[in-house]
Amino acid sequence: MNLKEKAKNLKTDIPTIFLSLKDKETPIIAKIFATITVAYALSPVDLIPDFIPVLGYLDDVILLPMLIALTLKFIPRDIYDKNRKLAEHMWDGGKPKKWFYAIPIVIIWLVLLSLIVKFIYCKVVS
């Protein structure tokens, strides 16, 4: 499978994971990973912002495909096949962008920022 085919599969894998998340037959562990993957994929905010040279695109090129691959390992094949057929043309017009998907990413950034401030404050006070 060449890179172009893999990219096309990724375009269908995210809607498949989204549908699997909503599927009652999907195991809980798969739903947990599906929630993380879908929230990250649909979030308008990246964990590493794209304006940071090189690193900004690494999350899109490495992190998202890894999350997708990991999530797909937990989804049973019959559920995956059923939802894959339903997802084939689901997001042809582009993926939806909802701001509430950014909440986990914003929380991570706030926690990191507070840890950095705390670290700097402890160094200055000591």
In one-letter notation, the amino acid at residue 58 is: L
Spatial separation of the C-alpha atoms in residues 108 and 117, rounded to whole Å: 14
Task: Report which of 64, 59, 51, 79 is spatially closest to residue 9, judged by C-alpha positions.
Answer: 64
Distances from the Cα of 12 to the Cα of 37, 53, 54, 71, 126, angstroms:
13, 28, 26, 14, 53
| Residue bearing tokens 């006070």 | 125
Q: Rg of the chain's alpha carbons, rounded to an integer?
A: 17
Averaged pLDDT for residues 79-108: 76
Q: Which two tokens stand for residue 85?
A: 């057929």
Asked whether residue 73 carries a pLDDT value surpassing 80, the answer given is: yes
Averaged pLDDT for residues 101-120: 83
Provide the pLDDT for residue 74: 96
Q: Residue 38 is part of which domain span?
A: 3-125
Provide the pLDDT for residue 25: 93
Averaged pLDDT for residues 69-91: 89
Total domains, the chain: 1
Q: Considering only residues 27 and 96, tell me which one the structure prediction assigns the higher pLDDT.
A: 27
Q: What is the CA angle 19-74-2, rounded to 5?
A: 80
